[in-house]
């Protein structure tokens, strides 16, 4: 059976990111790691996840360089799972996902909120351009385009989208 994934999807940074963190348990494990959990039993108790599923997810997170497996006890040998720099860099993504979820809930229905650790004031996470400080949630003001490593298919996709933007057409290119 031929692959349904287009070349431009395989090279897309969104696709490669989802490959690493796009699974339910993976996001929840990372969330717990951001909250300071490091040990297998902590993750298991917090999430109610099966031993085999947690083992598989932790192994993948270590292989992907998001967590580091370190021994913390020698007799018997026990390991903890510590966020790497690469893993820490996902925190804004997790925060943004949680904030998106909370924006679609009534305040009384939110099970967790992000607050300033010093003041306790609820934060309102937004994604901004570091250069200008402008919010990136306006898909008319900020658009994707082909990058330096883009394939011919990816370049064609974004050239067509740019042509449509300039002509005022709202239709994305068809495959």
Query: Along the 175 residues of the chain, how does pLDDT read in single tens digits?
Result: 445 555 556 677 777 777 667 778 999 999 999 999 999 999 999 999 999 999 999 999 999 999 999 999 999 999 999 999 999 999 998 999 899 999 899 989 989 999 999 999 999 999 999 999 999 988 888 888 888 988 888 889 889 999 998 888 666 555 5
Angstrom distance (rounded) from CA 3 to CA 26: 25
CA 43 to chain centre: 19
pTM of the model: 0.78
Q: Where are the alpha helices (DSSP H) in the chain?
A: 7-11, 13-21, 24-34, 40-47, 51-63, 85-88, 91-103, 152-167
Angstrom distance (rounded) from CA 30 to CA 110: 20
Angstrom distance (rounded) from CA 149 to CA 82: 32
Exposed (0-12), middle (13-18) or buried (19+): which is 67, by Cβ within 10 Å? buried
Element (H, E) at 79: strand 77-83
pLDDT at 10: 66
CB 65 within 8 A of CB 84: yes
């Amino acid at each position: 059976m031929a692959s349904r994934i287009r070349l431009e999807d395989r090279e897309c940074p969104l696709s490669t990111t989802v490959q690493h963190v796009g699974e339910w348990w993976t996001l929840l494990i990372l969330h717990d790691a951001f909250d300071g959990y490091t040990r297998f039993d902590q993750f298991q108790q917090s999430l109610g996840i099966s031993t085999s599923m947690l083992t598989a997810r932790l192994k993948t997170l270590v292989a992907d360089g998001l967590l580091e497996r370190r021994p913390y006890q020698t007799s018997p040998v026990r390991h903890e799972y510590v966020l790497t720099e690469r893993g820490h860099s996902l925190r804004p993504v997790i925060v943004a996902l949680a904030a998106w979820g909370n924006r679609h809930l009534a305040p009384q229905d939110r099970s967790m909120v992000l607050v300033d650790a010093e003041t306790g004031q609820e934060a309102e996470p937004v994604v901004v351009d570091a250069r200008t400080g402008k919010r990136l949630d306006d898909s008319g003001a900020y658009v994707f385009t082909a990058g330096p490593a883009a394939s011919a298919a990816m370049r064609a996709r974004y050239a067509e989208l740019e042509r449509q933007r300039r002509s005022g057409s709202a239709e994305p290119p068809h495959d």
